[in-house]
């Protein structure tokens, strides 16, 4: 048994319910034990009796009565191999005491699903604790075959703040993609709503989204508004384009479904751009053939957001994955030939309106 403790709530723990705070601090406690200690006055906050449901905030002092010994420490390896631990740690592009930014490789899911084991970002987070008691938490996701920037929060407080920022679009996300054909106009917006196609597995196997014209949304109660801005940055004849994509909303498969609906599926997208699909890519569908990889050519290139604690603007860019870098080299596209934000016309020298280079 421990003795009486006077514990100060830290800034990192943020504002939360007393019972949740106690169970995180003291793993041996059950909900029933916390409620009993509050009901009998053994737990006090700033000297006053408190209910289990009361909210506490940083700086408050909690009196914790003698507690039973803690159980053995939780398992930390989670079956993660040394190679996988090293792989996910090598993906880190930024880390401070509040958050971690990864450059997720293509082919690695963000979370588990049907038929998946722990080999996804969420399942590998025990390798990203770096001395913290709790695993970092995903605050948004990328499709399995989409590479690029992904943010994890190291504390509950930061997770809540970042989740709110992503939910209310207080972030700037720019993706790079290679698409079949050349969109016209070369800068524009796609505002088709999205709805899950019927007939897929209970766990989402084979999940696919269908586009609904905004004027017909009332006919489809399950359709959700979706908005993507696009900007053509380089072209190769009429065959393929390098586009920047900015998702204003964050729907499942949004960028892939929107580009396919526009008639310019993303290269390597067998789900939304198979060669049998009608498109404006000169009959090439989502495959270019030759030395071009059949993997999905979609990469979360730039991410900008306000740091939830320091309030400083943070901007990150991630290099292209190997298969896209090889395609760019094959097509003669230079990564540094375009501005970080292709939607800012002032960053394109001598350009005063929507344009496409090449």
Q: Which residues are known catalytic residues?
A: 143
Quick one: three-class SS letters along 213-235? Answer: CHHHHHHCCCCECCCEEEEEEEE
What is the distance in angstroms between the CA of the first residue and the CA of the last residue of the chain? 73
Cis peptide before 81 (omega within 30 of 0): no
CA–CA dist 342, 319 (Å, integer): 16
CA–CA dist 151, 95 (Å, integer): 10
Q: Are 178 and 245 in contact (CB under 8 A)?
A: no
Instruction: Give the pairing of strands 137-138 and 147-153.
Output: antiparallel
Coil vs helix vs strand at 93: strand
| Closest among 342, 69, 67 to 231, alpha carbons compared | 342
Exposed, middle or buried by CB within 10 Å (0-12, 13-18, 19+), for 294?
A: middle
CA–CA dist 165, 308 (Å, integer): 9
Residues in the chain: 358
Instruction: Give the pairing of strands 61-64 and 44-45.
Output: antiparallel
């Amino acid at each position: 048994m421990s003795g009486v403790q006077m514990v100060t709530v830290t800034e990192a723990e943020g504002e939360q319910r007393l019972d949740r705070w106690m169970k995180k601090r003291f793993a041996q406690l059950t909900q029933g034990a916390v409620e009993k200690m509050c009901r009998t006055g053994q737990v006090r906050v700033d000297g006053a009796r408190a209910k289990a449901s009361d909210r506490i905030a940083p700086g408050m002092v909690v009196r914790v009565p003698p507690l039973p010994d803690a159980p053995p420490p939780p398992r930390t390896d989670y079956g993660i191999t040394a190679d996988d631990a090293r792989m996910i740690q090598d993906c880190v592009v930024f880390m401070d005491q509040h958050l971690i930014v990864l450059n997720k490789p293509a082919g690695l899911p963000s979370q588990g699903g049907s038929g998946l084991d722990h080999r996804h970002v969420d399942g590998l987070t025990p390798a990203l604790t770096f001395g913290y008691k709790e695993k970092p938490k995903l605050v948004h996701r990328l499709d399995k075959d989409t590479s690029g920037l992904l943010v994890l929060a190291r504390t509950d407080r930061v997770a809540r703040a970042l989740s709110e920022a992503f939910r209310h679009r207080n972030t700037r996300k720019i993706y790079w993609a290679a698409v079949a054909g050349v969109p016209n106009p070369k800068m524009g917006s796609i505002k088709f709503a999205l709805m899950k196609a019927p007939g897929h597995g209970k766990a989402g196997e084979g999940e696919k989204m269908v586009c609904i014209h905004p004027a017909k949304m009332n006919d489809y109660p399950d359709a959700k508004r979706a908005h993507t801005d696009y900007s053509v940055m380089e072209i190769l004849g009429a065959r393929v384009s390098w586009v920047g994509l900015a998702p204003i909303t964050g729907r499942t498969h949004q960028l892939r479904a929107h580009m396919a609906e526009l008639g310019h599926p993303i290269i390597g997208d067998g789900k939304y751009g198979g060669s049998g699909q009608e498109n404006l890519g000169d009959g090439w569908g989502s495959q270019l053939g030759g030395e071009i990889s059949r993997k999905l050519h979609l990469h979360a290139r730039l991410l900008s957001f306000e740091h939830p604690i320091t309030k400083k603007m943070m901007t990150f860019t991630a290099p292209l994955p190997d298969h896209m870098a090889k395609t760019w080299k094959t097509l003669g596209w230079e990564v540094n030939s375009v501005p970080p934000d292709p939607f800012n016309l002032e960053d394109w020298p001598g350009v005063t309106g929507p344009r496409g280079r090449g």
